[in-house]
Amino acid sequence: MRTKLPIPMYNLQERSKQNFEIIRLVDNQNFAGKIEAHRDNNYMFIFQEQGLSKMVVDFQEITITGAAVFCILPGQIHYGISLQKADMWAMAIGADWIKDTFRTAVTEFAIRNAQVSIQESQAVLLRDSLILLQQIERQSNAGIQCQTLPSMLDVCLSLFVSCCQYDDNILPQANLRPVIITRQFRNLLVASFRKIKSPAEYAAALNISAAYLNEVVKDTTGRPVSYWIHQEIILEAKRMLFYTDSTVKEIAENLGYADATYFIRLFGKIAGLAPLKFRHKYHK
């Protein structure tokens, strides 16, 4: 499953005027090979009512069993493998629809790359809310003026976040300055990792000192700024090694490294093996 550059990016705005889409997949639909490995420019919220489904998200095979929720962030490479007697909802939502508090909770949840099983009462409430949201969306797509769509979407997102939250109390802490700075750093990192490589440059962009940025990020996430910078760079390199035919030199240049030798050393240090060995290992 290899593609030429660029890795496909699916644009939600090209499919929906609302920058929002809701889909239901029902029972035994095997979609392996129907949808190529790709990125989305939107958030993808997945709610499985029952059954079993499999997908791959950034090199990790995810199995969702029973009633559960899962989330895929913008930019993550993913594709579906199969549904087995599964009823599943998928909501594609543009970032502009999602409140900062919701985005914080969802990001903290999604980086774990694991499902959260939910209780039957939660599943029933979420299902009924999604059915109503889908009905409202269809009216809106049919040209019927409907002022309730944003409000109903907020209700569904709130229910989803309440399901996916761990006991980290993410939302109550969302307005604390360290959490805000960490969120700003992560957003800047995703947008700028090809150009900005040093903690000091990220700190300058956020108008704080490098020492303070490193302190709050480490306190909030358990890891220093340099760790997250390298993780973002190497994850993108892995994506390109696996899903494209680009040479290591081309990948290094794409990621902002004029010195391919330095990039190879960095990749080996972070990933534990050389770029070509990674490619050969995962293409066996």
Indicate the residue type of 142.
Answer: A
Q: Two tokens at 29?
A: 């639909």
Confidence (pLDDT) at 169: 44
Confidence (pLDDT) at 37: 84
- Nearest to 262, CA basis, from 276, 273, 249: 249
- Nearest to 251, CA basis, from 241, 262, 266: 241
Q: Two tokens at 229?
A: 């910078």
Q: Two tokens at 101?
A: 């508090």
- Nearest to 38, CA basis, from 10, 74, 72: 10
Radius of gyration of the chain (CA): 20
Confidence (pLDDT) at 49: 94
Three-state DSSP at 283 gives coil
Confidence (pLDDT) at 183: 81
pTM: 0.74
Confidence (pLDDT) at 84: 87
> Under a CB-based contact definition with an 8 Å cutoff, are residues 26 and 32 in contact?
no
What CA–CA distance (Å, rounded) separates 48 from 40? 20
Confidence (pLDDT) at 243: 84
Predicted confidence pLDDT, tens digits, the chain (284 residues): 444 456 788 888 888 877 889 998 876 554 544 567 888 989 999 999 999 999 999 888 999 999 999 999 888 889 888 888 889 999 999 888 888 777 777 877 777 778 889 999 999 999 999 999 999 888 877 666 667 888 899 999 999 988 876 434 444 455 578 878 988 898 899 889 999 999 999 999 999 999 999 999 998 888 999 999 999 999 999 989 988 889 999 999 999 999 999 999 999 999 999 999 999 887 65
| Cα pseudo-dihedral 153, 158, 159, 162, rounded to 10 | 160
